[in-house]
Amino acid sequence: MPAAQQLPRLLSIDQLAEHLGVTPRHVRRLVAERRVPFLKWGRFLRFDPAEIAAWLDDARQPEASQLPSSRHGHCA
Contact between 9 and 20 under an 8 Å Cβ cutoff? The reply is: no
Burial of 47 (0-12, 13-18, 19+ CB in 10 A): buried
Contact between 28 and 22 under an 8 Å Cβ cutoff? The reply is: no
Phi/psi of residue 44, nearest 5 degrees: -95, 140
For the whole prediction, is pTM greater than 0.85?
no
Ordered by where they begin, the domains of the chain are 8-57 (3.90.105)
Instruction: Tell me the pLDDT tens digit for each residue of 11-58.
Output: 999 999 999 999 999 999 999 999 999 999 999 999 999 999 999 999
Residue type, 61: Q
CB-based contacts of 8: which residues, under 8 Å, 6+ apart? 48, 49, 50
